[in-house]
Amino acid sequence: MFLKTVEVPVYIEQYQAYVRRLPPSQLRHNLESQFKKYWTGFRGEQMLEPLLASLPDKEYLIFHDLRLFNGVHYFQIDYLILTAKFILVLEVKNIAGTLTLDFLAHILTRLLNNKREIFQDPTVQSEMLKKQLQDWLAEHCGYLPGMPVEDIVVFASPSTFIRFINAINHEDQKVIRSSQLKKKTIAINNQLNSRVISSKMLKSVSKELIKGHHPKTLDLIRDGTVSCVDLIKGVRCPHCDYIPMIRLHRNWKCPSCRQTAPKAYFQALQDYRLLMGPKITTQDCKQFLQLESTSTSKYLLQTMHPNYTGNTSNRTYYLTEK
């Protein structure tokens, strides 16, 4: 059972919004590379969702993308599986090509299109996450006597070819392909004899994990990486991507492809939320949607049914997710 479901993390949506709203530049190119890297990682995690969903519902409590704080820094776990007998940390990799994992040198080499690339040994990473989680649990969930915490690396893509070298201590047992995930999880469960924690404790640990999750967010405007004036303002045409569409007779018309889209401003306001935060005034909206009239700006904001503070002339609205 998923207690934290698989959703696109907000920082990935933010990278995408920056790319949509910046003109071509080295900065946009860098942000696009970041977006692609994180999106590929997320797609790998998403591929495991149906496999995890097929585990017995009541026994396996599943958390996707947990980002916990250990007092010094944050650590992020792709999937955490909590049962009454053990906890399993999954580090998911979505790397295409032919891979060689060397357990002695602790490097992962990828060969793709005649290009060789080196990555860190993912088992080192998953081992570190396991230790960080154990410390976190000791601090936040009290003493969990004898609760085993296991970590495995899962290669999500079925088209990845992987070979192991120098696995002298059976380190390769910790690295699996996605097709082996269910079998491996059940095998770990069957190796362990009895439950270590009660149903009440399971609930309490679950609650702490959810409470301890701090989603990663980007604020490239506040940290000075992106300047507000550089952002492309206006409503994007959903048919041809042209910006800005023109507000005409309670509709949006594209000057480029001539098509209309009455709800096209929804996406623009979602971009505003991702880039500038949820707070928006009528003036901010007028400027971002490139409107001529303040009353249209007010009308469009109100159609989103947002919460607000302030009186009629000085109102701040709070945009929410779609």
Token digits for 221? 């405007």
Quote the least distance from Cβ 254 to Zn ion, whole Å: 3
Token digits for 102? 């060397």
Q: How many residues does the chain have?
A: 322
Helix axes 181-191, 26-53, angle to 10 degrees: 60
Task: Verify binding: residue 264, Zn ion, rule CB under 5 A.
Answer: no
Quote the least distance from Cβ 118 to Zn ion, whole Å: 44
Q: Which is nearer to Zn ion, 111 or 240 (CB)?
A: 240
Instruction: Pick the piece of the chain touching Zn ion (CB under 5 A) from 73-81, 202-210, 221-229, 256-264.
Output: 256-264
Quote the least distance from Cβ 289 to Zn ion, whole Å: 16
Q: Are 154 and 48 in contact (CB under 8 A)?
A: yes
Site map for Zn ion, 216-245, x if CB under 5 A? ---------------------x-xx-x---
Amino acid at 318: Y
Task: Verify binding: residue 165, Zn ion, rule CB under 5 A.
Answer: no
Instruction: Pick the piece of the chain touching Zn ion (CB under 5 A) from 4-12, 57-65, 111-119, 251-259.
Output: 251-259
* 2-4 and 61-69 strand pairing: parallel
CB under 8 Å to 151, separation ≥6 — which residues?
88, 89, 90, 91, 123, 126, 127, 129, 130, 174
CB under 8 Å to 170, separation ≥6 — which residues?
none
Quote the least distance from Cβ 252 to Zn ion, whole Å: 10
Q: Which is nearer to Zn ion, 187 or 240 (CB)?
A: 240
d(CA 26, CA 32): 10
Q: 241 exposed, middle or buried (CB, 10 Å; 0-12, 13-18, 19+)?
A: exposed
Q: Which is nearer to Zn ion, 142 or 255 (CB)?
A: 255
Q: Which is nearer to Zn ion, 48 or 237 (CB)?
A: 237
User: Considering CB under 5 A, how many residues would be counted as binding Zn ion?
Assistant: 7
Task: Verify binding: residue 257, Zn ion, rule CB under 5 A.
Answer: yes
Token digits for 120? 């860190």
Task: Verify binding: residue 112, Zn ion, rule CB under 5 A.
Answer: no
Residue in 5, 225, 256, 303 binding Zn ion, rule: CB under 5 A: 256
Dihedral sign of CA atoms 85, 91, 92, 95 in order: negative
Task: Verify binding: residue 274, Zn ion, rule CB under 5 A.
Answer: no
Quote the least distance from Cβ 245 to Zn ion, whole Å: 7
Q: Are 66 and 114 in contact (CB under 8 A)?
A: no
Residues of the shown chain interacting with Zn ion in the complex, contacts defined by CB under 5 A: 237, 239-240, 242, 254, 256-257
